[in-house]
Homo-oligomer: A and B are copies of this chain.
Amino acid sequence: MTVSKAAEKTAEKTSEKPADPAKGRKDAAESQGQGAAEALQLGGLSEQLGYVLKRAQLKVFENFLRCMASLQLTPAQFSVLLLVEKNPGRNQTEIASTLGILRPNFVAMLDNLESRDLCARIRSTNDRRSHILVLTDKGKAVLARAKKLVATKHEARLNDLLGQSNREALIAMLSKIANEF
Contact = CB atoms under 8 A, between A and B. Distances in A.
A148 to B, nearest CB: 13
Interface residues of A, number: 69
B18 A59 contact: no
A40 B155 contact: no
Given A37-B94, A52-B171, A170-B173, A178 B59 contact: yes
Contacts of A155: 48-49
Contacts of A48: 150, 155
A56 B55 CA distance: 12
A150 B50 CA distance: 10
Contact of A53 (B43, B51, B57, B169): B57
* Chain A residues touching B, majority SS: helix
A176 B161 contact: yes
Interface string A142-160: 0000000010001101100
Interface of A: 16-20, 24, 34, 37, 40-61, 63-64, 75, 79, 82-83, 85-87, 90, 94-95, 97-102, 126, 150, 154-155, 157-158, 161-162, 166, 169-171, 173-181
